[in-house]
Structure 1
Amino acid sequence: MIISPEHQAWITSTRGEDVRLRLFCFPYAGGGVAHYRRWFEQLPTSIDVCPIHLPGREQRIGEAAFTSMGELVTTLVEVLLPYLHEPFAFFGHSMGGLIAYALTRRLEAESLPLPRHLCISALKAPHLLSNREPIHDLPEAEFLRSVYRLGGTPLAVLQNQELLDLILPTLRADFTLYETYTPFNDLPLPCPIAVYGGAQDTLVSLVDLEGWRQHTSAEFLVRHLSGDHFYIHSAQIQLLRFLEHDLRAVLA
């Protein structure tokens, strides 16, 4: 497999020859993929955890983040093309789930291989996304208050002007990408969908998660875990147990 130098910054892949499935993982708005690196120790070696490094965060902090979902998935198709001939799955949390879904739709539109499993975390079904008021174009103070209420960004970070100057452009870009995306195809996908969510999540209800059922003609399941919108951190062990079980079922 030959990966072009300009695409190497996008993907971390470390597993050996016993890999049976690559799990591409996408971050939530304003977040990076550091927490996905801990998954290497928890999931079996047959599953290659491949975090996707988006511009505007971590080692790519100096690059401009995408504000258009269409432009992002166009680039991601190019980046992932060398991997698509082998079994793979997608996992995305919140905005990352929307990226995973939009990317799957683009692969479908281009008649490219689809993920063996589409794993969506803490995200409303696509047809329910427009129910929330957008915040990406609010004045800075109002935008930051809204981001803090959503959780995931510590108050200490939002009160540190030096850090804020560093992350604010990416935060606003991420919310622009998320809030301006419009699904272009409501027909059910032919790949299985597994949806995960926190039972105490006040942003995405259990009904919102169940709404994903109409977006697949294949197998569908919902997993409820203890925690709020960012249960992905507090209930990580429980999530990975579910994820391993669900991915093993696909491989079987």
Structure 2
Amino acid sequence: MGCTSSKGCCLCCVPDAALKSCGPAVPIAKEITNGYPAPPGHGAHTPAHPQGLGEAIQTRTRCISACAVRCIHDHLPGHRHDHQRAPAKMREEEARKWLSVKRKDFARVRLVCFPYAGGNSNFYKTWDVKEAEMVTVELPGRNARYNEKVITDVYLIAKKIAAALAGLGYIESKIPLVFFGHSFGAIVSTLVAQILRNQYNYTPKHLVVSGCVPLHLRAGRPKFSVANDDELVSSLLDMGGITKEMARNRDVVTQFLPALKGDYLAVDKYVYHEAPPLDCPILALGSDQDLRVPQHETEEWARFTTKEFESRIFPGGHFFLKPLEKEVVAYVSSVIFRDLTGPGATDLPGFILFDPNKK
């Protein structure tokens, strides 16, 4: 793009929270919020772009406004970053804290499972998807990471997971990744897919979202993090996330509440940014008694893909996955392996690697 600083980042970058990864800021930081009109030809700025950005940049830098506007677009979450910067890759030791792997020889896909709010990798420990290596996400503040501080920023969580996937060599692997996320996990898995597309030039083979309002419909929803501890426990009990015995056990409640409250705060802080749809099929799952996710909204996930979209409604409430585990696993398996059967299937990545000693 030209007009770059010595650190390789555009001089028109703005030190906004969403743009911190861009690098050094320039002296226009204060001027851009003072109400300058948008430059001719650029139309009205969206709420994500400070009003007057074009004129401020024109007066305080040598960049042309078109370059500046494109730079800001590139740094918003979900948008492509055109700068020549190597994507983050986490050290393997650290990556294994984020990703728990149940090794399976001759796997045709790796199924990466993202937990619901307050959840952990144990939720998926009984899942056994034929010919899929199970990779479960373990967030700070739970299980072996219990003493680590919970992260309350979904974008930061997604960046960390993307870097962990790269750190374990999964981005370069010939075994394709499939993402499965339930509720909070659906938000995070979608953001991880966008980050991998934008920064790592990688797209998962399939994205499965479950029990979650589509990202563009989250604005204006009731806040979860404002409830007191008793209300949170009661709400989780009503949804089927915990049993009555667990709700009455204060030691158990004390263990899961910090992670639950942190994840709820992350959801409440989340701000949707429009992004290009993903170039992978999406499967959206819902249930007929989930008060948080109306059935008709499940179909709205279709806008997040340029490929095939499929949805299915199961009986039950928000945590329908647990009582219907066998049915859900069987259905998800049939969908994600559908294009690995029939004519031409041997040309797909899953058939190339049948050597357990290779990544």
Q: How far off its partner does 1:83 sit?
A: 0.6
The SS at the match of 1:23 is strand
Q: Does 1:38 align with 2:139?
A: no
Q: How far off its partner does 1:156 sit?
A: 3.7
Partner of 1:65: 150
Gapped regions of structure 1 (runs ≥ 5): none
| Counterpart pick for 1:95 among 169, 184, 194 | 184
| Counterpart pick for 2:108 among 13, 20, 44 | 20
Gapped regions of structure 2 (runs ≥ 5): 1-89, 346-359
The residue type paired with residue 200 of structure 1 is Q
1:15-38 Cα offsets, whole Å, 9 max, x none, are 343111101001101112223121
Q: Is the 8 A contact 1:135 1:146 kept in 2?
A: no
Distance in 2 of aligned mates of 1:220 and 1:186: 17
The SS at the match of 2:217 is helix
Q: How far off its partner does 1:5 sit?
A: 1.4
Partner of 1:240: 329
- Structure having the higher Rg: 2
| Counterpart pick for 2:141 among 43, 51, 56 | 56
1:150-190 Cα offsets, whole Å, 9 max, x none, are 44133443443333332221111010112221222343221
Partner of 1:198: 287
Q: Is the 8 A contact 1:117 1:250 kept in 2?
A: no
1:163-178 equivalences under 5 Å are 163-178=252-267
1:165-222 Cα offsets, whole Å, 9 max, x none, are 3222111101011222122234322111001112222221211100111111110000
Cα pair distance change 1:150/1:182, threshold 3 Å: farther
Q: Does 1:114 align with 2:199?
A: no
Partner of 1:180: 269
Distance in 2 of aligned mates of 1:209 and 1:176: 23
Q: Which moved more, 1:176-185 or 1:157-166?
A: 157-166
The SS at the match of 2:321 is helix
- Give the structure, 1 or 2, with the largest relative contact order (CA under 8 Å, sep 6 or more): 1
Q: Is the 8 A contact 1:28 1:94 kept in 2?
A: yes
TM-score for both structures, normalised by structure 2 = 0.64
Cα pair distance change 1:182/1:168, threshold 3 Å: same
Cα pair distance change 1:126/1:11, threshold 3 Å: same
Distance in 1 of aligned mates of 2:210 and 2:143: 22
Flag the structure with higher helix content.
1
Aligned length: 248
Partner of 2:42: none
1:30-65 Cα offsets, whole Å, 9 max, x none, are 11222312112xx21x21111111111122222222
